[in-house]
A and B are shown apart, each in its own frame.
Chain A
Amino acid sequence: MANSILHKAESRGHANHGWLDSYHSFSFANYYNPERMNFGVLRVLNDDTVAGGRGFGSHPHDNMEIISIPLEGDLEHEDNLGNVAVIKKGDVQIISAGTGVFHSEKNKNPNQQVQFLQIWLYPNKLNGAPRYDQVSLDVKDRHNNFQQILSPNPTDEGVWVQQDAWFSLGKFDEGFQTTYQIKKPGNGVYAFVLEGDVTINGQALHRRDGFGIWDTDQLNFKADSAGAEVLLMDVPMKF
């Protein structure tokens, strides 16, 4: 029988640093909740808003798969591997930190905020070579469809990740129904509602709610409002 856990949007950790307004679905920085440590290998889901012209200065990471998904505005990336790039809505960025990487992420525009999701997965292999990648995807392909944006396969759609994980994004018309097949036995899915209202396996969800489901092989999905947007994170539950 399927298991599930509901994280209502308003139950998330919150830190407003002025330049950065961040909501944490799982324990992060000064937010520590032993009941909110991870969902399988999904360790961090931060919903960040960065003020115009501001950002995260150069800082290190290691042994973590870090995925950034811009929702609004332009995010400027720079790292010690020599990568300088800008990501915007429709793009997906991955940093496979491995033995260690330094990077900065800044709002490129001085007068417009940037909103993005910062997601960290534990890798399935430690101490790999650090790697950066980003892809631009056609957002039209996610209309009434779960568009794959991340997978463990370098030749597959989206960015590839050092983990048996698949991410998909969809934007749906009201009333649209579909099913989602979990990609690998032992994986669970953490659904995060970006916009609107949806129902997954009978659970009504609203903007920024999170819903984790495991011990099942499929989800039943229904959009309850026009333009409902959902991110599905299909991840191993054991690591």
Chain B
Amino acid sequence: MHRLNILAIHRDTKILATVLRLINTNENWNGIGSTSDEEAVEMFHQQPVGIVLFCAGIDETSEEKLKAIFSTQNPSPIFLQHYGGGSGLLSAEIYEALAKQGH
């Protein structure tokens, strides 16, 4: 089955690792991630990404710049603000975003 690629961007390496580990506990999701904007753009270009998770530390300027770059390549990724650092809320945030998109 095709797994949904979820790109997480977080400035903290350790918290990013936790977020990716939690994403990957769902067999239908594939978590990829970066702490830098440049690497995130590269990752986005290398594979189809369904959801981009903006995590802590991403300022408004970076977020807007990344959204503009991502939207140029793929007009329909889901951009999601992730709160909480992985634990507790992550699955519900993704399920809710997918439901809103009619998945």
Q: Which residues of chain A have a CB within 8 Å of any CB of chain B?
A: 27-30, 32, 34, 37, 43-44, 59-64, 97-100, 102, 120, 122, 126-127
Contacts and interface: CB of A to CB of B under 8 A. Distances in A.
Nearest to B58: A127
Q: Does more than half of chain A's interface fall in helix, strand or loop, or is it mixed?
A: loop
Interface of B: 10-12, 14-15, 18, 55-59, 83-89, 91-92, 95-96, 99
Tell me the dominant secondary structure on chain B's binding face.
Answer: loop
Contacts of A63: 55-56, 83-85
Contact of A126 (B12, B18, B56, B88): B56
A59 B87 contact: yes
B85 A62 contact: yes
A100 B92 contact: no
Contact of A120 (B18, B56, B59, B84): B84
Nearest to A64: B84
Nearest to B17: A60
A43 B57 contact: no
B86 A60 contact: yes
Contacts of A100: 12, 15, 56-57, 85
Given A62-B12, A63-B84, A27 B57 contact: no
